[in-house]
Chain A
Amino acid sequence: GESVGLHLPTLSVQEGDNSIINCAYSNSASDYFIWYKQESGKGPQFIIDIRSNMDKRQGQRVTVLLNKTVKHLSLQIAATQPGDSAVYFCAETLNQAGTALIFGKGTTLSVSS
């Protein structure tokens, strides 16, 4: 079936660097996309979301970019900190209640001091 995938399973960066985590999605009908951060032993924590009528959305130190032409989603983290170390998941769905999120396998971000 259709699923969201990620380009790299792991990403290692130095503290202070900018991080970019990529994600490819396959369902052209999806109109809502979301990034979660998951720390060991915890549930996924909402970071930022974007609807298909936008191509960029910014939060605090994070930016999500959506390229519908090539069905690509990315998460940019500015000035990465050790506390950003976690597994990051992208997910897609239809922007309405009752639709399940379709998750990718995740990218493990490791930040060294």
Chain B
Amino acid sequence: GAGVSQSPSNKVTEKGKDVELRCDPISGHTALYWYRQSLGQGLEFLIYFQGNSAPDKSGLPSDRFSAERTGGSVSTLTIQRTQQEDSAVYLCASSRTIGGQPQHFGDGTRLSIL
């Protein structure tokens, strides 16, 4: 597609449930990033994928968070046993390999944990 696509746009779930968030990057972009944005805050880096290399997971806040990227394209961010502090907007970005910047963002998934 023309831009980064994320789904669902909104997700409401109960504390303790698992959730999966999806990101479809811009066609031809090999780098994919996940960020989290809490209310009124800037973006916090979570994880980065580049081709078939091992992902950079240095930003994941706990082992309840994981992500995968299948076929070098679509990525899924999974949060297990959700907690109320996980409520935030989860944003995905992609960029070209060469140069690596700028990163282009999707509109995010707004996650609310009840």
Chain A residue with the shortest CB-CB distance to B110: A41
Contact B101 A43 (CB under 8 A): no
Interface size on B, residues (CB 8 A): 31
Q: Which residues of A contact B45 (CB under 8 A)?
A: 100-102
Q: Which residues of A contact B56 (CB under 8 A)?
A: 98, 100
Q: Which of B48, B104, B107 contacts A98 (CB 8 A)?
A: B48
Q: Which of B65-73, B77-85, B91-99 contacts A (4 or more CB under 8 A)?
A: B91-99
Q: Which residues of B contact A36 (CB under 8 A)?
A: 105
Chain B residue with the shortest CB-CB distance to A90: B42
Q: Which of A42, A43, A45, A106 contacts B42 (CB 8 A)?
A: A106
Contact A45 B105 (CB under 8 A): yes
- Which residues, 33 to 73 on B, are CB-close (under 8 Å) to A? 33, 35, 40-45, 48, 50, 56, 59
Secondary structure at chain A's binding surface: helix, strand, loop or mixed?
loop
Q: Does B4 contact A (CB under 8 A)?
A: yes
A45 to B6, CA, bound (A): 15
A103 to B56, CA, bound (A): 18
Contact A97 B106 (CB under 8 A): no
Contact A97 B107 (CB under 8 A): no
Q: Does A77 contact B (CB under 8 A)?
A: no
Contact B100 A43 (CB under 8 A): no
Q: Which residues of B contact A102 (CB under 8 A)?
A: 45
Additional 14 contacts, C-beta under 8 A, given A98-B56, A100-B56, A101-B103: A43-B105, A43-B106, A44-B43, A46-B104, A89-B42, A93-B101, A95-B100, A97-B50, A97-B95, A97-B98, A98-B50, A101-B43, A105-B42, A106-B41
Binding site for B on A (CB under 8 A): 4, 32, 34, 36, 41-46, 49, 89, 91, 93, 95-106
